[in-house]
Amino acid sequence: MASVAPRLASSASHLRLASALLLAACSADPGAPAAPVDAAPADVAAPPPDGSPPPPDAAPDVTPDAAPPDVREPPPDAVIAPDAAIAPDAAVTPDAAVAPDAAPDAAPDAAPDAAPADAPPDVDPRMIGTFRFGVEAALNLVIDANGTYRWHRDDCAAQTGACGRWTRSGDTLALSGASAFGDFPWVVGTLAEPVAAARVSLAPDGSGVVVRGMGGGRGGRPFEQTWTRGAACATCAGGMQSGPPTVCTTAVPTRCGP
């Protein structure tokens, strides 16, 4: 009986508590909404069950911005070459030199025994060379650039000639004998005669020379001869002249006396 009494007392206590709760539920306004329970933030961790302090908030995982797809990161030990040197502007090539107009057509072949290239600078080179005169015999005059001259006559039966010197006198060549004094032999007409003076000038058309002089002695007469460039050779047969002289390239013999 003694053990039953406490259990009855506990049951009565529970019965009173249940009645109070039922009475409170019946007296409450059935239309009032139930008070919401604040939900815990999603990012707030619940305290551990053992009562230890919560761990510190973890740092957010920040992902660096990805490099653009066309940019490659160089390796850490790569040597970055400096910008390539900019080559200077290419030198401007000057306009190609314009070739001068082609030289005019070469002059026609010179006549035989043309004037030498070593003529004195103060003498017309066309006055130097070999010249012929007359048609009765092969008569040639050679004026050399060294200041000398010689003439030679060949009629097949006999040959005559003479030598002398020349000096420049204005635009002419003054002739003199080998001794430079007195008369000297010259062919006047068809015979060799002494002359006192003779000068050589260039022919007006440049094709030869003109010799003007004065015969020697008291009765000397002036004369003028036109000599054409090129040598003449005698036309002989049986030791006699058989025809007029012909133009040739044979060297003129040197005969400085009769």
> pLDDT for 58-112, tens place per residue?
544 545 455 444 545 555 555 444 454 444 454 444 454 444 454 444 433 444 4
216 located within any domain: yes
211 located within any domain: yes
**Which one has a higher pLDDT value, 5 or 206?**
206
Please, what is the Cα angle at 221 between 184 and 207, to 5 degrees?
Answer: 75
192 located within any domain: yes
Give 181: exposed, middle or buried? Use CB within 10 Å, 0-12, 13-18, 19+: exposed
- Record the pTM: 0.55
90 located within any domain: no
Q: Residue 56: pLDDT band by 50, 70, 90 thresholds?
A: low
Domain total in the chain: 1
Helices (H) then strands (E): counts for the chain:
1, 11
164 located within any domain: yes
Contact 219, 240 (CB under 8 A): no
Helices marked H in the chain — which ranges?
A: 4-27
* pLDDT per position as a tens digit, 208-229: 999 999 988 777 889 999 999 9
Q: How far, in Å, CA of 199 to CA of 246, rounded?
A: 26
Q: What is the pLDDT of residue 146?
A: 94
* pLDDT per position as a tens digit, 126-165: 999 999 998 888 999 999 999 999 999 998 988 899 999 9
178 located within any domain: yes
Residue 132's domain comprises 125-248
Q: How far, in Å, CA of 228 to CA of 231, rounded?
A: 9
112's tokens: 């035989």
77 located within any domain: no
Q: Residue 27: pLDDT band by 50, 70, 90 thresholds?
A: low
| All residues at 6 or more sequence positions from 80 whose CB lies less than 8 Å from its CB, including other chains | 74
- For the domain that residue 225 is a member of, what is the CATH number? 2.40.128
* pLDDT per position as a tens digit, 167-198: 999 999 999 998 767 899 998 877 788 999 99
* pLDDT per position as a tens digit, 43-54: 545 555 555 555
Give 161: exposed, middle or buried? Use CB within 10 Å, 0-12, 13-18, 19+: buried
54 located within any domain: no
Q: How far, in Å, CA of 212 to CA of 210, rounded?
A: 6
Alpha carbon separation from 220 to 60, 213, 224, 242 (Å, rounded):
142, 10, 13, 33
Q: How far, in Å, CA of 55 to CA of 19, rounded?
A: 46
